[in-house]
Amino acid sequence: VTSEEDATLLDDGIGFTDVAKRPTPMGSGLRAADFRQWAPVLKDKIIRYSPKLVCFHGLMAYKAYLQHGEGVKEQAQLGLQQRTIGFSAVFVVPNPSPANAKYSLNDLAEWYGRLREFSQQ
């Protein structure tokens, strides 16, 4: 799906957003102030729209959300999280950015497969 077509995913109940709304070349360019500003906005959106499932791309994004949206510092791992956001389950997959070379294309496909399996339960 191209960026021009991603709005069509709403027809399938899938939406996209960011934890922080400031464009940077890489996520590491975001500051704590960005997350302090935007993570509560994301939390409000999730609670308002109450999706079945929320997926974070990368542990860094999820941990930043936890700290600035929930006010907690917790350990997190890839996969289904124990913590929910409102009534929404939370799943974390590896960040698919090429800068995150730790995960191969096969690894990413496996994590997206797990996400798909969970979403169909």
66-80 residue pLDDT tens: 999 999 999 999 999
Q: What is the pLDDT of residues 22-42, one digit of tens each?
A: 666 556 666 778 778 888 999
User: Hey, where are the domains in the chain?
Assistant: 6-119
**81 touches 65 (CB < 8 A):** no
Question: What CATH class does 6-119 carry?
Answer: alpha beta
Question: What's this model's pTM, rounded to 2 decimal places?
Answer: 0.85
